[in-house]
Structure 1
Amino acid sequence: MNPAPSIVFFTTASGAGYGLLFWLGLLRPFGLTPPSPGFALATLALALLLVTAGLLSSTAHLGRPERAWRALSQWRSSWLSREGVAAVATYVPAVLFGVATWAGMPVLAAVAGLLAAAGAAVTVWCTGMIYASLKPVRQWCHPLVPWGYMLFAGFSGAALLAAAAAFAGGAALPALLAAALGAGALLLKRRYWSSIDAPRPATAPSIETATGLGRIGTTRPLDAPHTEQNWLLREMGFRVARKHRLKLRMLVQAGFAAAALLALLGLLAGGGAAALLLSLGAVAALAGLAAERWLIFAEATHTVTLYYTAES
């Protein structure tokens, strides 16, 4: 699939924003983040800024962005619609969390924070299921895809929270979470790549099953469907060269590993050194995640390419 910059930015920014909102809303009620209201409000503002920027960028991929609101009505059957509903609904407890924190109402802030964390988790799960539910794209219709979205959001959110907390004191738990989730993200991604690279089973879709002519033997088209490049080949049949794919995979792994290592080093350091290490870790996490988001689109192929004798 052709990686659209707007969708790559959306999944990276909103995932990190929802991850940050999740950890802030979950940990603050239990006193596991810096207690300053200013820290909570600044971190919440960063989370909502990332979420909003990501959601707005996703509309650039639509043919008629002004009609995006209509997708909210299909929540009974569409994961895209469910994502939209969950994203809008999550703003309510998130804003209430900020107001209650600013007004000094700890009980209300705790309840709203936990609800915002739950809304963030639901929204990210719906985003992952948008892709995991698309059966024509075998690289997306995979059991690890939605869990990957959840893990990557939690990882990047923890890295951002650790970097912010390092300037206010109390970054130990977020840094530990970032290190553990970074290692988990690296392992999950390696397992996912191993799975999609494995030899395809005999029951996998082929041009014979796509045309229904497999009973008479090997099938091939007499002529190509088109004489030149078209939209289907450009968008659905986009392919990244193997050498570039391997380089990007190394970049993803390096970003995740560096973020986890820097989080561990930040735990051992103190003061300005910890703030620097954890900030660099957050940058490494986001860079690795952006490369991973681009690659998951570039490696995906649609079953429609079988009609062009390409492997899906």
Structure 2
Amino acid sequence: MHPAPSVILFTVLSGMGFGLLAFLGLGAAQPLGLAAFLLWGLGYALAVGGLLASTFHLGNPQRALRAFTQWRTSWLSREGWTSVLTLLLLAPVALAAIFGGLLPPMFGATGAAMALLTVYCTSMIYAQLRTVPRWNHWTTPALFMCFALTGGAMLSGHNGAGAILALLLGGLLVFAFRRGDGAFADAGSTIGTATGLAGQVRQVAPPHTSENYLMKEMIYRVGRKHSRRLRIIAVLFASLLPAAIQLFVPPLPVVMGFAALLHLIGAFAARWLFFAEAEHVVGLYYDARPAAASIS
């Protein structure tokens, strides 16, 4: 799949933002005054900034509001609704903290649950797709949720939980990479199933004389050498280095901010691979499987 920068920004930033908002809503951190303004502001900035980035991938951004009408069948629509409800539900909690007060825990807990539900809805946009075997697995929502919780724990100052979650995230990343490498073959899709023809099928001539939308969006080639390096960067920066810093370095704000920055770099690398390594079955029809190209 084509790793569009807008979608990568959307999923990484909004995930971290809603993760932070979930921790703040649960009262895991209870800043007041200026500290509350900065921390809640960071959560809202990440969440809203990520959501706004997603609109740049739309063919006609003016029609983005129409996505809210399909909530019965579309995970994208459900994500839109849950994100708006989260931001609205947590706004009174944030404002109360900024002005030096605290609301009953029920308000924050409800908003926190909606924040995590938003992350889950985002993940299901991809996990539901049977046409992308690498995504069509429980590891996709697990990774999205683990990234959100890890980032939220780190930004809210919970170093112990952040370190544990970071290590869990690293193990999950390694497992998802290894499982995903064989997912397409395990799905049993072939050029015969892609074209609906029986027997041994081979392509004599390409379906099109020039590249089309499907080939641009659904087919992407990434070399194994580059993939291997980015996997190492993803696990090292998103998991191992932040976990080590949180466990063994004094929890100074500058140090913890540096750990969060490293985690963010790893998250971007992992999310780029999430899209770039995903094979859509339409590649069989065009005889252009990315995995075949990545061997060379």
> In structure 2, what is the Cα distance between the partners aligned to 1:118 and 1:199?
32
- For residues 65-122 of structure 1, give each alpha carbon's deviation from its aligned partner in whole angstroms, at most 9, with x where no partner exists: 01101111111111000000001111111111122223444234x3322122111101
Q: How far did 1:140 drift?
A: 1.2
| CA distance in 2: counterparts of 1:67 and 1:234, whole angstroms | 23
- Gap change, CA 1:297 and 1:41, over 3 Å in 2: same
> What's the counterpart of residue 265 of structure 1?
248
Q: Per-residue CA shift, 1:35-94, capped at 9, x if unaligned? A: 534322321111001111111110000011011011111111110000000011111111
Q: In angstroms, what is the RMSD of aligned CA positions?
A: 1.7
Please name the residue that 1:233 is paired with: 215
Q: CA deviation at 1:156?
A: 1.3
**Equivalent residues of 1:178, 1:263 under 8 A apart:** yes
Which residue of the partner structure matches residue 54 of structure 1?
A: 50
Q: How do 1:161-200 and structure 2 match up within 5 A?
A: 161-162=156-157, 174-198=158-182
Distance 1:102 1:36 in 2: 5
Letter matched to residue 253 of structure 1:
V
- 1:36 lines up with 2:36 in the alignment: no
Name segments (4+ residues, structure 1) moved above 4 Å.
199-203
Tell me which residue corresponds to 2:79.
83
Q: Retained in 2: the 8 A contact 1:94–1:116? A: yes
User: What is the CA deviation profile of residues 188-236 of structure 1, one whole-angstrom value per residue up to 9, with x for unaligned ones?
Assistant: 010011111237556511111122223xx21012211123333322221
CA distance in 1, matches of 2:187, 2:176: 20
Structure 2, unaligned runs of 5 or more: 291-296
Preserved CA contact (<8 Å) 1:240 1:299 = yes
Q: Is residue 67 of structure 2 the alignment partner of residue 71 of structure 1? A: yes
- Could you say if the C-alpha distance between residues 227 and 293 of structure 1 is closer, same or farther in structure 2, counting changes exceeding 3 Å? same
SS in 2 for 1:205: coil
Whole-Å Cα distance in 2 between the matches of residues 82 and 308 of structure 1? 33
The amino acid across from 1:244 in the alignment is: H
* Cα separation, partners in 2 of 1:227 and 1:280, compared to 1, 3 Å: same
Match of 2:200 among 206, 218, 234: 218
Residue of structure 1 equivalent to 2:294: none
1:206–1:311: 8 Å Cα contact kept in structure 2?
no
Match of 1:168 in 2: none
Residue 169 of structure 2 aligns to which amino acid in structure 1? A
Contact 2:32/2:97, CA 8 A, preserved across alignment = no
Q: Confirm or deny that 1:141 pairs with 2:117.
A: no
**Aligned partners of 2:184 and 2:279 also within 8 Å:** no
Choose the corresponding residue for 2:108, options 110, 113, 119. 113
Distance 1:262 1:305, change over 3 A: same
Rounded to whole Å, the distance in 2 between the matches of 1:132 and 1:199 is: 13
CA distance in 2, matches of 1:19, 1:265: 24
- Separation of aligned partners in 2, 1:205 and 1:284: 38
Q: 1:60 to 1:89 in 2, by over 3 A?
A: same
User: Percent identity, aligned pairs only?
Assistant: 40
Aligned residues between the structures: 289
